[in-house]
Amino acid sequence: VVNAYTRPKTEKYVEELAEGLKAEGFRARLFIMTAAGGIVPVETAARFPVRILESGPAAGTLAATFIGELVGENNLISFDMGGTTAKVALVERGQPRITTVFEVGGYRFKKGSGYPVEVPTIDLIEIGAGGGSIAHVEMGLLKVGPESAGADPGPACYGLGGTQPTVTDADLVLGYLNPDYFIGGEMKLQRELAIKAIEEYVAKPLGLNVVEAALGIHDVVNANMARAMRAVSIERGKDPRMLTLVAFGGAGPVHANRLAEQNKIKKLVIPLAAGVATAIGMLASDVKFDFVRTYVARVEEVNLEMMRSLYEEMEGEAVSLLKAAGVTRMELERSVDMRYVGQAYELNVQIPDEEISPSTLKALEASFVDLYEKTYGFTTGDPVETVNWRLLAIGKVPRVKIKRAEEKGKAEDALKGKRKVFFAEYGEYVECDIYDRYKLLPRAFIQGPAIVEERESTAVICPKAKATVDEYLNLIVTLEGG
């Protein structure tokens, strides 16, 4: 239903995109990112638009995975905060977690609260928490989002007609953002408009001063995002204290240090060009096609001949599509969705690359029970059944490569000035060092509190944190105790 509803507009949009690029002299093959973390030819995306739902956030998770690989970390929380939403995902052993049922419009991270779309999707949580999220008082309580001011009129400080206070307005009042260097100085932020909006809509209704109200907005949106991080880690059986946080997006690095503190994460990685890091994810992806056939049966009752026939059919389709996409290096991965009899949700279990036999089925059942216990903390002992037999066809393409920076440097060489910034630890504004991100070289060391500015984003390093720059120009933030 979702595919049929979205296909006409998607086909028109994709056709216009392809024609526009061609008119600009683009001659390469055009691919579109999918929600499962692969790329497909533009023709496939137009036919199956349901597969490109949440493809942007999926690319962000791939970017976090790629960056984690560079810094030697493969168990991560990917955190992408932009203007409207924040996206959080779990990466385990260097692979983003995949779900076969994605819910659109879910409520408070609860399963079954959204509209289910049954296509393979990177398992992420998206909430209405971005730079443009509007702060308001409801029944005496401060709330932030999910309503957003968008880019037009945008936050009050944009001076484009917006009057309601947003997260960006609060961050500006607290000193985290440079009013003269937003988007590299292309847009000047108006602090007085941010103060006016916060005072009218938050401070006065709650009996606070403007700074207290701004800090409240900052803290509330952080609390919302911290809960999302716990949902993708603790509720998936993972301890966030054992994970590394990779933060990007236009607003992500402003808030990431506090989120790491709240979840007791000891290591935070902020890549260079964090505001556009999602693009790296697209360049680090392979061509991927997903195939599925439903065959519900208890494990001991699976008809092996029928199952082999299903895979022969899917593998034939897969090879044809990969060849049509111009791919020569191929990999085929088999898996099966399994569940306890009577349950409505499945877990995906990888099938070994071997001839499937009765012993293989027993091993799959054991793997399912083990995965279920790791995910939910218990097992039921009920009979296990198979539901969907899946094939992932991967066409290997050249991956983006990041060069190591050869030159070394000191943080003092990147110091661009000082600014008064508010930190809750001090309860007041303090003089804070401001660094130019583009002048920070490997071995540079920064002791918090500090602000690191680049064109598309700003990184806040809190008082109890310290940061270094690695050979790939990533900012590695270590929190107290790390």
**Same domain? 340 vs 428:** no
CA angle, 93 as apex, 88 and 98 as ends, to 5°?
A: 50
Top-confidence residue, 105 or 53: 53
pLDDT value at residue 357: 85
In a domain, 454, yes or no: yes
In a domain, 46, yes or no: no
**Same domain? 380 vs 424:** no
* Residue 440 domain boundaries: 411-478
Asked which of 343, 369, 395 is the last residue of a domain, the reply is 395
432-456 average pLDDT score: 97
* Banded pLDDT at 365 (limits 50, 70, 90): very high
pLDDT of residue 309 exceeding 80? yes
**Same domain? 296 vs 378:** yes
**Same domain? 384 vs 456:** no
CA angle, 37 as apex, 32 and 43 as ends, to 5°?
A: 25
**Same domain? 361 vs 428:** no
CATH code at position 306: 3.30.1490
Partners of 136 in beta bridges: 143
Asked which of 334, 365, 395 is the last residue of a domain, the reply is 395
- Is 36 within 8 Å of 119 (Cβ atoms)? yes
**Same domain? 339 vs 435:** no
pLDDT in tens, 203-249: 999 999 999 999 999 999 999 999 999 999 998 888 999 999 999 99
In a domain, 198, yes or no: no
Q: Of all residues in the chain, what percent are helix, strand and coil, respectively (each to 5)?
A: 35, 30, 35
- Is 146 within 8 Å of 128 (Cβ atoms)? yes
**Same domain? 297 vs 363:** yes
* Banded pLDDT at 109 (limits 50, 70, 90): low
Lowest mean pLDDT among 95-109, 254-268, 312-326: 95-109
Neighbouring CB atoms inside 10 A of 405's CB total 17
**Same domain? 464 vs 416:** yes
**Same domain? 297 vs 382:** yes
421-437 average pLDDT score: 97
Write a three-state SS string for 192-205. Answer: HHHHHHHHHHHHHH
In a domain, 354, yes or no: yes
**Same domain? 305 vs 391:** yes
In a domain, 78, yes or no: no
In the chain, % of residues over pLDDT 70: 98
Q: Show Cβ contacts of residue 399 under 8 Å, excluding neighbours closer than 6 positions.
A: 283, 284
**Same domain? 294 vs 390:** yes
**Size (the chain), residues:** 482
**Residue in the structure block whose two tokens are 């961050």:** 171
Structural domains counted in the chain: 2
**Same domain? 364 vs 307:** yes
Give the C-alpha separation, 258 to 479, whole Å.
10
In a domain, 21, yes or no: no
Give the C-alpha separation, 17 to 22, whole Å.
9
pLDDT of residue 303 exceeding 80? yes
291-318 average pLDDT score: 92
Give the C-alpha separation, 66 to 80, whole Å.
14
Asked which of 395, 421, 453 is the last residue of a domain, the reply is 395
**Residue in the structure block whose two tokens are 């996409």:** 325
In a domain, 376, yes or no: yes
Lowest mean pLDDT among 305-309, 415-419, 428-432, 464-468: 305-309
In a domain, 419, yes or no: yes
SS3 of 229, please?
A: helix
In the chain, % of residues over pLDDT 90: 77
Report the predicted TM-score, pTM, of the whole model to 2 decimal places. Answer: 0.88
